[in-house]
């Protein structure tokens, strides 16, 4: 396959994006790990730390998306760095799934169901509430 002149392949021009996502992901995952060190979770109990990490991360993404889509014309690497990288590394829906499974394996079906449903609902509510709050603040500030 012959590529147009000046192009070097499907990743042409994407390496900066890959780099900022990786750097942001490392920062976000480090923040999540720090939260788990500060607030360790007991086996078989409701995983509050992961719950609050996911809810706060979703609230931040709700606020962030309003700011970068409705207020500020951000540099093209801001969204992949912060939205995909930092917040993608910070929030942990894979751990959410593993913890739900561990609760089920520990015969904590009620806790597993509360965690699974509660996290999904709280995360969606956090995105909505943060976006609504930022829009309200911006409208108030313009008056």
The binding site for Na(+) consists of 88, 91
Alpha carbon distance 20, 82 (integer Å):
8
Structure tokens at 57: 């991360």
3-state secondary structure of 55: helix
For residues 65 and 35, the answer to whether their CB atoms sit within 8 Å is no
Which residues contribute to the annotated binding site?
88, 91
- Type and span of the H or E element at 38: helix 15-38
Half-sphere exposure of 3 (CA within 13 A, CB side): 8
8-state DSSP, 3: P
- Torsion sign, CA atoms 41, 45, 48, 51: positive
């Amino acid at each position: 396959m012959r590529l147009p002149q000046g192009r070097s392949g499907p990743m042409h021009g994407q390496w900066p994006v890959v780099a900022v996502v990786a750097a942001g992901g490392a920062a976000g995952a480090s923040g999540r790990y720090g939260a788990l060190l500060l607030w360790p979770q007991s086996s078989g109990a409701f995983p509050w730390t992961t719950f609050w990490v996911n809810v706060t991360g979703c609230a931040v993404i709700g606020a962030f998306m309003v700011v970068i889509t409705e207020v500020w014309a951000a540099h093209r690497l801001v969204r992949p760095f912060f939205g995909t990288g930092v917040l993608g590394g910070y929030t942990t829906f894979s751990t959410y799934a593993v913890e739900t499974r561990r609760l089920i394996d520990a015969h904590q079906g009620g806790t597993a169901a509360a965690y699974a449903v509660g996290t999904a609902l709280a995360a969606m509510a956090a995105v909505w509430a943060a976006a609504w709050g930022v829009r309200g603040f911006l409208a108030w500030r313009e008056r």
